[in-house]
Structure 1
Amino acid sequence: MIHHVSLGTNDVARSRKFYDAVLGVLGLGLLKASQDSADYGVSTVLFSLETPVNGKPASAGNGVHIAFEAGGRSKVDEFHRVALLHGGSDAGAPGLRPEYDPNYYGAFVLDPDGNKIEAVTHHGK
């Protein structure tokens, strides 16, 4: 079982502007922040952004992405729209992905550091 996931960032303040808005759409809030990290969740930390502890620049992983359960198609749509308004870039517009599953509805974006994230649901509406 996964306890939490962390992605690297080179600018915590910039990442917070993006993730505060985007994760808010999905019901996750900022639980703790410092100049080196931002931690999101509901009652416990599920997702973090951190400057690398080795002092080297953060870089996005090719082939890596984090998928968040959206709970419905309208939330996937809103996630994508809000991400683009807050410095993200499109990596796959909202829509059905029948090659994964007949009910798989998702959207992909790149955050300001180039990390790929997704909102997905298997529910209608």
Structure 2
Amino acid sequence: MLSHVTLGTSDIERAKGFYDAVLAVLDLACQFDEREHGWLGYAAGPESVPQFWIGRPIDGQAPSVGNGVTVAFVAPSRAVVDTFHHAALAAGARDEGAPGLRPHYHADYYGAYIRDLDGHKICCVCHAPA
């Protein structure tokens, strides 16, 4: 359904260190390193979609965080959600919701929420039963 998601950053080098560490938990890696142009693209492989991009805003303005915007990565297990959350906090993220069930979404929704180094809300979720 999606081709890609892009979030803005004020510091591409800092964002690379953060997302290299955090997305590795989900077997996602930087497939497109265009730091000289202010962009990084993460995916499962160079031809994989969807892709997750981080970059300096094209309009030259400061990046901003959207109210009500959350980017959610799917995890194959609840243990991976836990590992994602721990890795994100260790890399400097702010906690926005510890790993756990959120039955108000559905009975098996197990997610964790963080704010990345630029303040974007990121979720990691497993939809599978325990």
Q: Which residue of 1 aligns with 2:109?
A: 104
33, 38, 41: which one pairs with 1:39?
41
TM-score by length of 1: 0.96
Q: What is the correspondence of 1:83-98 to structure 2 with a 5 Å cutoff? A: 83-98=88-103
Q: Which runs of 4+ in 1 moved over 2 A?
A: none
Q: Which residue of 2 aligns with 1:2?
A: 2
Q: What is the correspondence of 1:1-125 to structure 2 with a 5 Å cutoff? A: 1-35=1-35, 36-43=38-45, 44=48, 46-125=51-130
Instruction: Give secondary structure in 1 for the equivalent of 2:24.
Output: helix
Instruction: Give secondary structure in 2 for the equivalent of 1:64.
Output: coil
Q: Which runs of 5+ in 2 are unaligned?
A: none
Q: Structure 1: how far apart are the matches of 2:67 and 2:17? A: 24
CA displacement, residues 89-120 of structure 1 (integer Å, 9 cap, x when unaligned): 10000000001001000000000000000000
Q: What is the CA RMSD across the aligned residues, in angstroms? A: 1.0
TM-score by length of 2: 0.92
Instruction: Give secondary structure in 1 for the equivalent of 2:58.
Output: coil
CA displacement, residues 61-111 of structure 1 (integer Å, 9 cap, x when unaligned): 111010000110000000000000001010000000001001000000000
Residue type at the aligned position of 1:9:
T
Q: Number of aligned residue pairs: give it.
A: 125
